[in-house]
Amino acid sequence: MKKTAFFFVAPKLGATFGFLVFSHIFFSTSLSAQWEVKHAIEDDKVIQKIEFFDDQFGLAMGTGGVILKSIDSGETWQNIDFPDSNFRFRDFEFINADTILAVAQSFPYSTPMGQKAYLLISEDQGDSWNVIYEELNAVWFNIDFKNYPKGASAGWGGIQTTEDGGLTWQAVDLVDEEITGYDIKFVDDQIAYAVINDFFVGDLIMKTTDGGQQWDISYQGSNSGLLATYLEFLDTETLFVLDVIEFEMFKSNNGGDSWAEVELNSGNIADLHFPSIQTGYGVSITTEFTLPEFPANYTIIKTTDGGDTWEGETNLGVPLQTVYFLNDSVGFVAGWHQLIMKTYTGGGTEIIGDYPYNDPNAVPFISSKKVDIFPNPAFQQIQIQTKGNYQFEQIEIFNSQQQSVLRMKFKDQIDISKFPKAIYTMVLTDQQGKQLIKKFIKQ
């Protein structure tokens, strides 16, 4: 099970599927190699979460109904047949050695209308699954069942709780109905944090100290402020939040009352795990948005001082979505093409095995900090503010299915009033062909 560590990090909001040609690259087999490919398939499925119940039994679940199971500490992975390839598994939690709960979504998920959120249960270590609850016109991002049969879920529409193992659910009255709950996690049976975005108020971190009966605002941002979507905790006072729009990390040592920026030279963190109080790992998709002209890349970051400083190197390669470590040295990263890699030495830059990656012509990218977009989220218009004398020639906006919805000469104000509610990717191109990628949310 995961140890208690409290970080606010990035969503699995946008595991988009720019498909890469599957090719086999064999890296050096010397003893210095620090990542070994344990599983990879020539398809467009993405592992959204990998986690172990103990040092032997682990699961990896993701898009396209993919479920992988290991009973030998991740050395081999068995594919569990799931009948519906339209299911996108977003999160799961071990209840005991046999029982697992998982939340899934029908795909695509750019808007909740017409979709269903599903809660499934397995009582045979993940070999078979049954739906125990479904909700129409809903998107769930995360679940928490640390106090099973009590549980909670976060998604579009807010936070919900259950008292009976997920058979029935009740909405939590937080601010108003126009909210998105990105994550909720309980520290113990009384203390929990929830991260939400309220259209009228802005970004909020909510806290309860009575098991969810009463919620108070621990942090209030603005509509162009933080967007934290994944939580872990070192303790009840040491918190981290990653702004998934600006790719910035902030730290609080007082339960969220005040924040300081942590230097983070990487892209959009998709997952984070601390096997111990000092050592933590994260995986980062420097660009989640991948078309043939946008090369896929990833970053694996590491801290050895409890999250004060992070080190990592960005490489062209298969984007990663999730990380889990059994101890400070032995762990896993996973992502696109059902890729699972294992390290025995705390990570590194060398890879051995059949690695699914082709080498497209790289497009030079511009730091996202050269541009501010506000308000974000936005309702009718967005403003683009460039820093310094930087100039762009073209704007193109893509939806979550990587379809171009707008292409035009650069303007510093864009009307998005007719866009459906969703997360969009904006690509700005300068005179030299260099590109900058920013995300924004249409409310």
Domain that holds residue 253: 8-356
Q: Which of 326, 356, 386 is the last residue of a domain?
A: 356
What are the distances in angstroms from CA 241 to CA 116, 185, 252, 313?
29, 14, 8, 21
Q: In this predicted model, what pLDDT tens digit does every residue of 48-57 receive, in sequence order?
A: 999 999 999 9
- The pTM of this model reads 0.76
* Co-location of 89 and 143 in the same domain: yes
The string of DSSP letters for 312-348 reads EEEEES--EEEEEESSSS-EEEEEBTT-EEEESSS--
Helix (H) or strand (E) holding 183: strand 179-186
Structure tokens at 412: 């510093």
Query: Where is pLDDT greater, at 202 or 35?
Result: 35
* Co-location of 378 and 324 in the same domain: no
Query: Where is pLDDT greater, at 252 or 23?
Result: 252
User: pLDDT > 70: what percent of the chain?
Assistant: 78
The string of DSSP letters for 155-199 reads EETEEEEESSTTSS-EE--SS-SSEEEEEEEESSSS-EEEEEEET
CB-based contacts of 97: which residues, under 8 Å, 6+ apart?
53, 54, 57, 125
- State the average pLDDT over residues 31-44: 79
Give the model's confidence band at 28: pLDDT under 50 very low, under 70 low, under 90 confident, else very high: very low
Query: Where is pLDDT greater, at 38 or 291?
Result: 38
Strands 8-9, 331-335: pairing is unpaired
**pLDDT at residue 437 in the model:** 76
* Co-location of 195 and 303 in the same domain: yes
Query: Where is pLDDT greater, at 389 or 224?
Result: 389
* Co-location of 227 and 287 in the same domain: yes
Comparing CA positions, the residue from 403, 401, 387 lying closest to residue 436 is 387
Query: Where is pLDDT greater, at 345 or 8?
Result: 345
Q: Which of 323, 356, 389 is the last residue of a domain?
A: 356
* Co-location of 22 and 88 in the same domain: yes
Structure tokens at 425: 């990717």
* Co-location of 100 and 181 in the same domain: yes
Beta-carbon count within 10 A of 431 CB: 9
The average confidence (pLDDT) of the chain is 80
* Co-location of 332 and 373 in the same domain: no
**pLDDT at residue 423 in the model:** 83
* Co-location of 128 and 261 in the same domain: yes
Cα 33 off chain centre by: 27
Which of helix, strand or coil describes residue 196?
Answer: strand
Q: In this predicted model, what pLDDT tens digit does every residue of 183-233 receive, in sequence order?
A: 888 888 888 888 887 766 667 788 888 888 888 887 776 544 445 566 777
- State the average pLDDT over residues 125-146: 93
The enclosing domain of 434 has a CATH number of 2.60.40.3080
Q: Which of 287, 321, 356 is the last residue of a domain?
A: 356
**pLDDT at residue 15 in the model:** 41
Q: How far apart are the first and last CA of the chain?
A: 36
Q: Cβ(307)–Cβ(240) under 8 Å?
A: yes
User: pLDDT > 90: what percent of the chain?
Assistant: 35
**Does residue 362 belong to any structural domain of this protein?**
no
- State the average pLDDT over residues 154-161: 86
* Co-location of 326 and 416 in the same domain: no
**Does residue 1 belong to any structural domain of this protein?**
no
Q: How many domains does the chain have?
A: 2
**Does residue 53 belong to any structural domain of this protein?**
yes
